[in-house]
């Protein structure tokens, strides 16, 4: 009987063993295929990075080689510099460098990209490259030569020694502190060199992009937890018997703030608020009540949001967009002064469409940008003259004055035109000084009509 059982089981076990070997071989082949594909991608990105850095160095040299009055060539050269730095940034993102300190080089390339883009986009005939900008280009030309030389040295070692990027990924993933790897050491050398470069004067257009919003820029003096407690009770209309808990956030940093949670008898849901430590400005409000089924329109909710803002001290605010998602609505408001919408001073209000009551809002932009009574610039062109510059097919539905921030972070007085073209709705912001387009914005289908006129 044992022999009979063995005769039956032996071929079965043999088939299972063969199947396991075949499966293991296929799995190993697939794994190797994935590894080879990843290695090829890493190698391609690295060699392209070295190539584009070399091209970037050459393009900076070409831009410097022409006459200081060759504005058309300067524009062409700067556009190419922007394109090449964008390519280099993209290739860095494809390499397994997330655990490797390479942030100085990435920041350096980012600043070159923004500098070249912002400079090439302006009218160089009216505002040619300044002496400071030419000096920057010469410095960038020299620095890019050093970076290219270091990368090419790493590239030569990679080719000569057939180094693999998969080993780099394994080395960085290892918990061992000592990482002896030619590629890793090479990139560390590049980043160290970049970190030693003196800071350039990139100009206000580029500096504004990296200008971190900090509480240090706020006016007013630091407030205490007790003061925040009183502010929270007052804003929530909670009464003196409410339970309030205040916590301090980001102590010792540029982002110091307070979070206050309030619970009262007449409003059982917890209400939370965020305040800046300096000045005690409210930057966020959230009512944690449960939202029921939708029963009010966005127009009714907007009316209640208007009343809420006036009651809470946010006067002269105008809604500019209104979105609704299920039983929730979001309305964006901006300040209004002398008939001009002040877009930098904006806040977003969230409402529950079960009863139209405000359930929260975000006012950090308003807190940091509100400057009281502004000295608004006067338009150099009439609206009728600027309107003539619109696309003839653009069907205007409304127009108004607006103060916006352009791509460089500079505040510009514009004429805002809303309308339709090609089956979509748009807002066009035209510079009130020369009629040029500053921003073209397509409105989402969810944006409600009553909020934009």
Render pLDDT for 40-73 as a digit per residue (tens, 0 to 9): 787 888 888 888 889 988 999 998 888 878 888 8
Tokens of 240: 């003196």
Residues of the chain with pLDDT under 50: 177-180, 448-452
Question: What per-residue confidence (pLDDT) applies to 403?
Answer: 94
Report the pLDDT value the prediction gives residue 177, as an integer from 0 to 100: 44
How far is the C-alpha of 244 from the C-alpha of 255, rounded, in Å?
Answer: 22
Residue length, the chain?
Answer: 453
Distance between CA atoms of residues 103 and 95, nearest Å? 13
Residue 161 corresponds to which tokens in the numbers above? Answer: 């020694």
pLDDT of residue 451: 45
- Retrieve residue 13's tokens: 């076990």
Q: Contact, 107 vs 20, CB < 8 A?
A: no
pLDDT of 89 reads 85
- Find all residues with CB under 8 Å of 321, minimum gap 6, and list them: 331, 332, 443, 447, 448, 451, 452
Three-class secondary structure of residue 414 per DSSP:
strand
Distance CA 250, CA 420 (A): 46
User: How large is the angle between the packed helices 2-65 and 165-173, nearest 10 degrees?
Assistant: 100
Any idea what the Cα angle at residue 415 is, between residues 414 and 419, rounded to 5°? 135
CATH code, 383-451: 3.10.450
pTM attached to this predicted model: 0.66
- Tell me which H or E stretch contains 9: helix 2-65
Task: Give strand pairing partners of 148.
Answer: none
CA distance 28 to 394: 61
**Which residues make up the CATH 3.10.450 domain(s) of the chain?**
383-451
d(CA 147, CA 136): 16
Report whether 413 contacts 340 (CB < 8 A). Answer: yes
């Amino acid at each position: 009987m044992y022999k009979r059982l063995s005769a039956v089981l032996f071929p079965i076990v043999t088939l299972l063993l063969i199947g396991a070997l075949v499966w293991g071989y296929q799995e190993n082949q697939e794994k190797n295929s994935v590894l080879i594909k990843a290695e090829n991608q890493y190698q391609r990105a690295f060699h392209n990075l070295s190539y584009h850095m070399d091209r970037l160095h050459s393009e900076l040299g070409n831009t410097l080689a022409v006459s200081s009055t060759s504005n058309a060539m300067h524009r062409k050269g700067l556009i190419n510099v922007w394109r090449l730095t964008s390519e280099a940034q993209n290739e860095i993102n494809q390499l397994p460098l997330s655990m490797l300190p390479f942030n100085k080089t990435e920041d350096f390339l980012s600043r070159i990209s923004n500098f070249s883009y912002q400079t090439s986009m302006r009218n160089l005939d009216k505002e040619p490259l300044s002496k400071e900008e030419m000096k920057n280009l010469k410095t960038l030309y020299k620095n890019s030569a050093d970076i290219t030389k270091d990368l090419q040295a790493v590239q030569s070692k990679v080719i000569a020694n057939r180094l693999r990027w998969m080993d780099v990924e394994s080395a960085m993933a290892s918990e061992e502190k000592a990482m002896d790897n030619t590629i890793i050491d090479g990139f560390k050398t590049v980043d160290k060199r970049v970190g030693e470069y003196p800071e350039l004067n990139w100009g206000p257009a580029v500096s504004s992009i990296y200008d971190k919003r900090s509480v240090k820029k706020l006016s007013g003096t630091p407030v205490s937890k007790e003061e925040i407690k009183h502010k929270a009770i007052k804003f929530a209309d909670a009464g003196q018997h409410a339970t309030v808990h205040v916590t301090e956030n980001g102590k010792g940093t540029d982002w110091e703030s307070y979070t206050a949670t309030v619970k009262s008898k007449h409003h059982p849901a917890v209400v939370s608020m965020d305040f800046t430590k300096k000045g005690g400005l409210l930057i966020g409000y959230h009512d944690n009540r449960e939202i029921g089924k939708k029963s009010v329109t966005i127009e009714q909710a907007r009316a209640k949001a208007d009343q809420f803002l006036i009651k809470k001290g946010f006067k002269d605010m105008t809604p500019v967009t209104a979105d609704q998602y299920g039983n929730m609505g979001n309305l964006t408001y901006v300040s209004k002064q002398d008939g001009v919408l002040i877009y930098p001073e904006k806040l977003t209000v969230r409402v529950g469409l079960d009863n139209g009551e405000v359930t929260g809002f975000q006012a950090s932009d308003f807190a940091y940008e509100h400057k009281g009574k502004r000295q608004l610039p006067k338009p150099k062109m009439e609206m009728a003259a600027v309107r003539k510059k619109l696309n003839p097919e653009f069907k205007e539905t409304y127009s108004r004055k607006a103060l916006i921030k352009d791509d460089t972070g500079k505040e510009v007085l514009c004429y805002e035109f809303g309308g339709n073209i090609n089956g979509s709705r748009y807002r066009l912001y035209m510079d009130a000084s020369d009629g040029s387009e500053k921003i073209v914005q397509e409105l989402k289908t969810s944006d409600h009509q009553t909020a934009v006129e």
